[in-house]
Amino acid sequence: MRYYYLFFLVVISFSCKMLNAQQIKGQVNFDKVENVKLFKYRGNDKVLIDSTAINNGFFSLSYNSPYNSMGSIVIDDTYEALVVLGGESIEFSAKLYDNDLELNFSKGRENKLLANYTKAYPFIKNSISALEYLEDLYGNLPQNKAQSQAIELYGKEIKRLQLFEHQFDKQIDTTIILKHYLPLKRLLSNLAEIAKYEPNKHENVLKQLARIDYASDFLFNSGILNESISYHIWFIANVIEDDGLSIKKINQLIKSILSSTQHDNYKFNTASALLLEILQKGKRTENLIYLKRLLNQETYACSADSELLASLQRISSLKLGAKSPDFDFPSIINNTDTTIEKFSELQSTYKLLVFAGSWCSHCRRQIPKLNTYKRLFNKYNVKVVLFSVEHAKSEFYEFTNNLDFLSMTDLKGWKSDVVQSFKVKATPTYFIVNQDNQLVLKPNNLIDISNWLSKL
């Protein structure tokens, strides 16, 4: 009898899940595609929900309706488009437009709204920008009746377009993630233009950014958590001219994010890891030191997981004066016949370790210039080691064949143990190591290297 009861519970549970499941039906209007995947966003990750084969251009996926997140449809791991997973069934046809996946929704109100907005917003944004430009242009010219009428018309059209945008936002249910996603995405997409061309808006935009709730479920399910934090930091750094004040403001943001997320371990560790990555990549040393100090405080340390603590430890180990990470030379080496097998065994007063990649346009411009520093390097007994972040042997050799210094790769790209041990997040990245294998400098560019050596 007990087994029948358990079976009954399993059936009921399965039936409830099926009742909550929402269907996504699609038709692909282009050839030679085999599979489709459905992802939802969580923190800084994409989580696979469902996948299936495409049969004669048709497929069907499903997700459970409690989801309230942004998601993505990915076809053949190549073509991707955004969808709203807000508890509604969805139907669409998919086509390629200039190699971008475009979804035409026939069912799913929120997804129709997203598609309509995605198509309309660039036009609205560009139109408002053009009209504001003309309004300013005509306003600076000697006035006559025709020009006054034109300025008045431009002003009316700007207000009409802005009203359209406002009315569009009002159509969206406040409980749906799209209500939160669109205004934030719109703000983030305008930051670069505002920073450069609209200084009169800086103060107001800083206030808008300060109102972002970094502990919000909506933000963690939106797919733009990373973008929100990195753009927020970037905007502060670029519009506040006083370096000391911008450092202070970014520190305030860091503390605000940690404080707001500390009671949810997942959110806290996700946000903290993103902050570590963003600050390292942006080479914001003062802010990184502040973040590390906060994370080592008892208030926050108890919320940090082992992965975050390990990342902190790796960063701490790369302080100037600390021992440089060591590594075995990989088997793929160019421009040398050395028998040395480890980085630490390379004998010289200084070693310049360079991380670069054939795919990196900055690297292709900067790294060959190291050849011109040969006399300077010889004078100060500096040996150059290039570690190339690569996946293809042919690209490595093509990139390094004309270089005059030791070059190597393990073809593991960003997953290379060497790359990770030095916490490299961007290329080119430089380290200067002394004869005691201590890190003595992390130069930003070739000029920094030259200036530092010239002062020895």
**pLDDT one-digit tens code per residue, 178-198:** 888 888 998 999 999 899 888
Query: Which pLDDT score, from 0 to 100, does residue 388 have?
Result: 96
Judgement on whether residues 282 and 349 belong to the same structural domain of the protein: no
Judgement on whether residues 297 and 347 belong to the same structural domain of the protein: no
Percentage of the chain lying above the pLDDT 90 cut: 53
Judgement on whether residues 242 and 352 belong to the same structural domain of the protein: no
The DSSP bridge pattern shows strands 21-28 and 90-97 to be: parallel
Tell me the pLDDT of the chain averaged across its residues: 86
**What is the SS3 assignment for 51-109?**
EEECECCEEEEEEECCCCEEEEEEECCCEEEEEEECCCCEEEEEEEECCEEEEEEEECH
Report whether pLDDT(133) > 80.
no
Residue 9 maps to a domain: no
Report whether pLDDT(138) > 80.
no
Residue 132 maps to a domain: no
Q: Which of 343, 338, 341, 339 is nearest to 355 (CA)?
A: 343
Q: Write the single-letter amino acid at 282.
A: G
The DSSP bridge pattern shows strands 45-53 and 58-64 to be: unpaired
For 53-62, 236-245, 295-304, 355-364, which range has the lowest pLDDT when averaged over its residues? 295-304
**pLDDT one-digit tens code per residue, 190-240:** 999 899 888 999 999 999 999 999 999 999 999 999 999 999 999 999 999
Given a contact cutoff of 8 angstroms between Cβ atoms, the answer to whether 10 and 53 are in contact is no
Query: Which pLDDT score, from 0 to 100, does residue 426 have?
Result: 83
Residue 337 maps to a domain: yes
Cα dist. 342→16, 208, 339 in Å?
Answer: 60, 51, 9
Query: Which pLDDT score, from 0 to 100, does residue 49 have?
Result: 94
Query: Which pLDDT score, from 0 to 100, does residue 413 have?
Result: 93
Judgement on whether residues 311 and 196 belong to the same structural domain of the protein: yes
Judgement on whether residues 310 and 337 belong to the same structural domain of the protein: no
Judgement on whether residues 184 and 299 belong to the same structural domain of the protein: yes
Q: Which of 17, 173, 23, 178 is nearest to 88 (CA)?
A: 23
Residue 12 maps to a domain: no
- Domain hosting 46: range is 18-107
Q: What is the rounded distance in angstroms from the CA atom of residue 444 to the CA atom of residue 436?
A: 22
Domain termination site, one of 288, 316, 344: 316
Average pLDDT over residues 137-159: 77
Judgement on whether residues 394 and 356 belong to the same structural domain of the protein: yes
Q: What is the rounded distance in angstroms from the CA atom of residue 314 to the CA atom of residue 317?
A: 5
**pLDDT one-digit tens code per residue, 370-411:** 999 999 999 999 999 999 999 999 999 999 999 999 999 999
Q: What is the rounded distance in angstroms from the CA atom of residue 386 to the CA atom of residue 412?
A: 15
Query: Which pLDDT score, from 0 to 100, does residue 116 have?
Result: 84
Structure tokens at 189: 């997409």
Structure tokens at 366: 């900067």
Model confidence at 20, pLDDT cuts 50, 70, 90, reads low
**pLDDT one-digit tens code per residue, 314-338:** 666 566 777 889 999 999 999 877 7
Residue 149 maps to a domain: no
Q: In which order are the strands placed within the sheet that holds 100-107?
A: 58-64, 21-28, 90-97, 100-107
Query: Which pLDDT score, from 0 to 100, does residue 454 have?
Result: 84
Report whether pLDDT(79) > 90.
yes
Looking at the 3D structure of the chain, how many domains does it have? 3
In this predicted model, which residue has the larger pLDDT, 17 or 245?
245
Average pLDDT over residues 114-118: 85
Judgement on whether residues 176 and 299 belong to the same structural domain of the protein: yes
Domain termination site, one of 316, 341, 358: 316
Domain termination site, one of 107, 124, 152: 107
Residue 49 maps to a domain: yes
Q: Which of 261, 132, 260, 279 is nearest to 194 (CA)?
A: 132
Average pLDDT over residues 253-266: 95
In this predicted model, which residue has the larger pLDDT, 444 or 416?
416
CATH at 100: 2.60.40.10
Judgement on whether residues 100 and 56 belong to the same structural domain of the protein: yes
**pLDDT one-digit tens code per residue, 417-436:** 999 888 888 889 999 999 99
Judgement on whether residues 197 and 264 belong to the same structural domain of the protein: yes
Judgement on whether residues 305 and 369 belong to the same structural domain of the protein: no
Residue 192 maps to a domain: yes
Judgement on whether residues 341 and 414 belong to the same structural domain of the protein: yes
Neighbours of 322 (CB within 10 A): 11
CATH at 352: 3.40.30.10
For 139-143, 162-166, 268-272, 304-308, which range has the lowest pLDDT when averaged over its residues? 139-143
Cα dist. 289→225, 426, 439 in Å?
Answer: 22, 19, 17
Cβ neighbours for 11, distance < 8 A, ≥ 6 positions apart: none
Residue 35 maps to a domain: yes
Q: What is the rounded distance in angstroms from the CA atom of residue 188 to the CA atom of residue 154?
A: 26
Q: In which order are the strands placed within the sheet that holds 79-85?
A: 45-53, 35-42, 69-75, 79-85
